């Protein structure tokens, strides 16, 4: 019986971890077309103060790129003390490490909505991009839209 309880607990833990990361569709034509460098994701994800939310963009490109990432946040209920948004790049899933792109941007959650832009002017060859949004304090925030634009250099 203890084995079944342990198995069930392990399953729930693994399921909870998987629910925190959203893998977005690959950019259409990525790595094949110079025009496939932008992806707008209309989302309706709710960010709480208990769980960081990760979004993964798959965007391999034939040339090095610079990036612009835009996220539209809206205070849903209460006010988060802070919402931190960070952008990371990864060259290969084999190595499994992420490199932060730019600095983490913080929003105090005291206004109705805000748009955060993270720009990187240094060309690199990332295939995957991860955005981490973390809320603190009491309240919920809606992630209304996200946009990743890659500029081939």
Tally of domains in the chain: 1
Q: Write out the E strands in the chain.
A: 21-23, 38-47, 53-58, 65-78, 82-90, 99-107, 113-124, 128-136, 139-152
CATH number at residue 61: 2.60.120.260
101 touches 68 (CB < 8 A)? no
81 pLDDT more than 60:
yes
Cα torsion angle, 102, 42, 132, 24, sign: negative
pTM of the model: 0.74
Number of C-alpha atoms within 13 angstroms, CB side, residue 37?
16
Q: Is residue 77 part of a domain?
A: yes
Which residue range(s) make up the domain with 77? 22-152
Q: Is residue 11 part of a domain?
A: no
The Cα–Cα gap between 75 and 79 comes to 7
Q: Is residue 14 part of a domain?
A: no
16 pLDDT more than 70:
no
Q: Is residue 5 part of a domain?
A: no
> Who has greater pLDDT, 62 or 34?
62
∠ at Cα 124 (130, 151), nearest 5°?
85
**Least confident segment among 47-61, 70-84, 122-136:** 70-84
Q: Given this model, what pLDDT does residue 131 score?
A: 94
Read off the pLDDT of residues 83-106 as tens digits, 9 standing for 90 and up: 899 999 999 889 889 999 999 998
Q: Is residue 117 part of a domain?
A: yes
Read off the pLDDT of residues 117-141 as tens digits, 9 standing for 90 and up: 999 999 999 999 999 998 887 778 8
Q: Given this model, what pLDDT does residue 15 score?
A: 36
- For the chain, how big is the Rg over CA atoms in Å? 17
């Amino acid at each position: 019986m203890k084995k079944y309880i342990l198995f069930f607990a392990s399953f729930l833990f693994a399921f909870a971890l998987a629910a925190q990361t959203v893998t977005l569709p690959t950019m259409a034509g990525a790595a094949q077309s110079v025009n496939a460098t932008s992806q707008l994701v209309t989302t309706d994800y709710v960010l709480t103060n208990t769980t960081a939310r990760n979004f993964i963009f798959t965007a391999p490109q034939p040339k090095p790129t610079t990036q612009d990432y835009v996220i539209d946040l809206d205070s849903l209920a209460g006010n988060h003390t802070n919402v931190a948004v960070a952008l990371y790049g990864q060259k290969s899933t084999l190595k499994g490490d992420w490199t932060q792109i730019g600095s983490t941007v913080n929003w105090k959650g005291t206004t109705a909505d805000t748009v955060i832009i993270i720009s990187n002017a240094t060309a690199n060859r990332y295939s995957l991009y991860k955005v981490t949004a973390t809320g603190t304090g009491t309240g919920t925030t809606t992630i209304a839209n996200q946009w990743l634009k890659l500029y081939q250099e």
